[in-house]
Amino acid sequence: MQVHNEVKPIDTINVTPMLDLAYVLLVVFILMTTASVQGLPISMPKPSNKPSTEKHDLKIVQVMSDGGVLLNGVGVTLDELAQQLQRAKALDAQMSVAIKGDARTQYANVVAIVDLCNKLQVNMGLVTARIGT
């Protein structure tokens, strides 16, 4: 009795895994390119190498976690803050306000200060902390 084991050579390559990989790479490429395109175009100011010789008044407004407002470390109401900022702007038209919002305060409290500064047409900036500090 003879057993004939015919071994047929494999003459085709299974390309299904390669196509799966190609489709996954294509999807990743499409997602990454569209994610980098979205957003608002902004024009960032260029830094100046010249040090500023002008000195203008700077008021620091802190919004506490309970919603209280401090102006240069002294507690004030929004009406008192508006009056003091108006007086400071009358003395120095280029004065600025730095707004520090506590991380636990409600966002509306900080927005109220920003709106007040916009209404008074005062230069302002938001103070942020570095991550990890």
- The confidence score (pLDDT) of residue 28 equals 92
Give yes or no for residue 123 having a pLDDT over 60.
yes
Q: What are the residues whose beta carbons fall under 8 Å from the beta carbon of 57, sequence distance 6 or more?
A: 88, 91, 92, 95, 96
Model pTM score = 0.55
Tell me the percentage of the chain whose pLDDT exceeds 70: 79
Instruction: Sheet with 74-76: list strands edge to edge.
Output: 74-76, 69-71, 58-63, 96-101, 123-127
Of residues 50 and 8, the one with the higher pLDDT is 8
Instruction: Compute the mean pLDDT over every residue in the chain, rounded to the nearest whole number.
Output: 79
Q: What are the residues whose beta carbons fall under 8 Å from the beta carbon of 92, sequence distance 6 or more?
A: 56, 57
CATH class, 58-127 region: alpha beta
- The confidence score (pLDDT) of residue 63 equals 86
- The confidence score (pLDDT) of residue 80 equals 87
Strand pairing category for 58-63 and 123-127: unpaired
Of residues 99 and 131, the one with the higher pLDDT is 99
